[in-house]
Chains A and B, each alone.
Chain A
């Protein structure tokens, strides 16, 4: 089945130690998104790629970076994780960037910062 895959499902890192979260998709969608979701809060968009074009949200900290080496894969790099970065990180894809295109979400990676 076509899907959005996130690995690992749970990630533990140390304060200040760089960490990379992975997302892959078999939907061949043009757009890939990264969201941060903290406990009992709504998902917050960090950035998205439309093909190779990177679109950063204005309030996304510089500590968060992303790479999309090809259509299928997208990575979220947190350069120096702080305690406040502990959250669920959701990857999503869509055919196009407009709201009318359904977004397909992965199961998320829960990040714990010690």
Chain B
């Protein structure tokens, strides 16, 4: 099971782009990378998922280098409402890999 490592916390001002990097040195060939967002007193919410290169949706972008040993979640022009904990997860399609949340990154957006 690929272990993930993220910064514990990050601060950003409103309107800035925020990049949160996750290390997963032991990622396996069949593993995908998924990011979830959790607001206080709420359940986590899916943000984005990718396998390689770049994925973009209406919320964020996910950059994955060729070696796939890390990934970067990019949040464009953050607002106060983006203050949350962001979790990076790695796992395969088999369903045999339990979904293990790492410690996550606590992002604080400051006005």
- Interface set of A (CB-CB < 8 Å, partner B): 4, 33, 41-45, 50, 57, 88, 90-92, 96-100, 102-108, 110
B54 at the interface (CB under 8 A from A): no
B41 at the interface (CB under 8 A from A): yes
B7 at the interface (CB under 8 A from A): no
Asked if B49 and A100 sit within 8 Å, CB to CB, the answer is: yes
Q: A57, A90, A105: which has the most chain B beta carbons within 10 Å?
A: A105
Q: What are the 8 closest A-B residue pairs judged by CB atoms, nearest first?
A: A105-B43, A99-B91, A97-B95, A42-B101, A98-B95, A102-B46, A98-B93, A90-B43
Asked if A107 and B43 sit within 8 Å, CB to CB, the answer is: yes
B10 at the interface (CB under 8 A from A): no
B14 at the interface (CB under 8 A from A): no
Distance from B94 Cβ to chain A, minimum over Cβ atoms (Å): 6
Distance from B43 Cβ to chain A, minimum over Cβ atoms (Å): 3
Residues of A close to B87: CB separation below 8 A: 42
Closest to B101 in A: A42
